Amino acid sequence: MTARNLLAGAAALLALAAPAVAQDTPGVSATEIKIGNTTAYSGAASAYSAIGRGLSAFWRMVNDHGGVAGRRITFISVDDGYSPPKTVEQVRKLVEQDGVAFLFNTLGTASNTAIEKYLNQRKIPQLFVATGADKWGDYKEYPWTIGWSPSYRGEAQIYGKYILKEKPGAKIGLLYQNDDFGKDYAAGLKDVLGDAYDRRVKEVSYEATDTTVESQIVTLQGAGVDLLVTAALPKFAAQAIRKVYDIGWRPLHILSTVSRSIAQVMEPAGTEKGIGVVTAAYVKDMLDPALKDDPGLNELRAFMRQYLPDGDLADNNYVYAYGVGLTMLQVLKQCDGDFSRENVMRQAANLRDLDLPVLLPGIRINTSPTNYHPIRQMQLQRWDGKTWVRFGDVINDTGA
């Protein structure tokens, strides 16, 4: 499904627009829908600020094409510095002062954890959060919160399957961020390795507030690890790749997909230092030679030329932003003019085989009232010094 088709469908809803009176839903009027967002325009996770810029540009494009059902989208995106207390402060302001209808693609595992109870108690949709923590699929406990990207636990299950196939006897080192984000990778590997996990895996953690992970890399090398899984933010992932190379260590290195950005990770690490690193992906890469003439990426490039002319094509955060933006647009289209919070949440949990131009072939978005994990498939990739090269088939997580 292309953005053009989605935008055309949204424009067609103009005929279905409600009379020019405000709805009862906060943030929704006859002419406007207010959407709130927090992200890291500063701080340790500022590499993800491209997502916020990409989404702001996306909604400008939607408005240029008539908005949705006669309403312009007011997208209020604010900086929380990847700090949960700041996220709480900003979200309260978005809800209680700015009067947004719902939250969309708020960044970070810890940050979203800090606001999920507040939003669920008030029955405010927390849609397609920008974190893959497995907990965002908990439709029973938090029915107003839904994920978007593959869960970190599901991603780790895919890595576990690969490890058993390629290096079944390897001594595994896991470098992870000491929060729900990082711990999901341990859980996913345990799902696959079972009782062997404790004797085969050496865990070393870091804090998001740390300045470096170099000592952790040295510790893992000293433990005799010959396969390294790095579950880290871009800043620390780049440090890990560089340190592994600089100390002459050559493990099979698996990198979490949140840090597969060429611009934010591979180039800062040194493109030659990451040769052989393996990761997984679910969205296309604009620098993938095999996708040079891909229609979906051509659509994205055209969007960026018009709305993000200074955007770095090597930064896959823009691909992510475009994909999650199209998903949100589809939800609004399915609302058929009824933008009550209840109906917005209902439609977010009713996506069927949504095919987006930036998803890898064979990957579709599906949700239901009992499935809050929209994307459950990925494909492995290997860094060749210039780009990520896909290999193997699309792999499903185990659904644990």
Domains of the chain: 3-150+290-369 (3.40.50.2300), 152-281+380-396 (3.40.50.2300)
pLDDT digits (tens, 9 = 90+) for 194-223: 999 999 999 999 999 999 999 999 999 999
Given a cut of 80, whether residue 8 has pLDDT beyond it is no
Given a cut of 50, whether residue 13 has pLDDT beyond it is no
Given a cut of 60, whether residue 28 has pLDDT beyond it is yes
User: pTM (2 decimals)?
Assistant: 0.86
| Band (287; pLDDT cuts 50, 70, 90) | confident
pLDDT digits (tens, 9 = 90+) for 51-87: 999 999 999 999 999 999 999 999 999 999 999 999 9
Q: What is the per-residue pLDDT for 1?
A: 60
Q: What is the per-residue pLDDT for 356?
A: 97
| Band (44; pLDDT cuts 50, 70, 90) | confident
Q: Which residue did the predictor score with more confidence, 14 or 280?
A: 280
Residue matched to tokens 């895919």? 158
pLDDT digits (tens, 9 = 90+) for 137-170: 999 999 999 999 999 999 999 999 999 999 999 9
Which of the residue ranges 43-47, 266-270, 343-347 would you say has the lowest mean pLDDT? 43-47
Q: What is the per-residue pLDDT for 332?
A: 98
Q: How many residues does the chain have?
A: 400
pLDDT digits (tens, 9 = 90+) for 175-184: 999 998 999 9
Above pLDDT 70, what percent of the chain? Answer: 94
Q: What is the per-residue pLDDT for 313?
A: 87
- Rounded CA-CA distance 358/300 in Å is 8
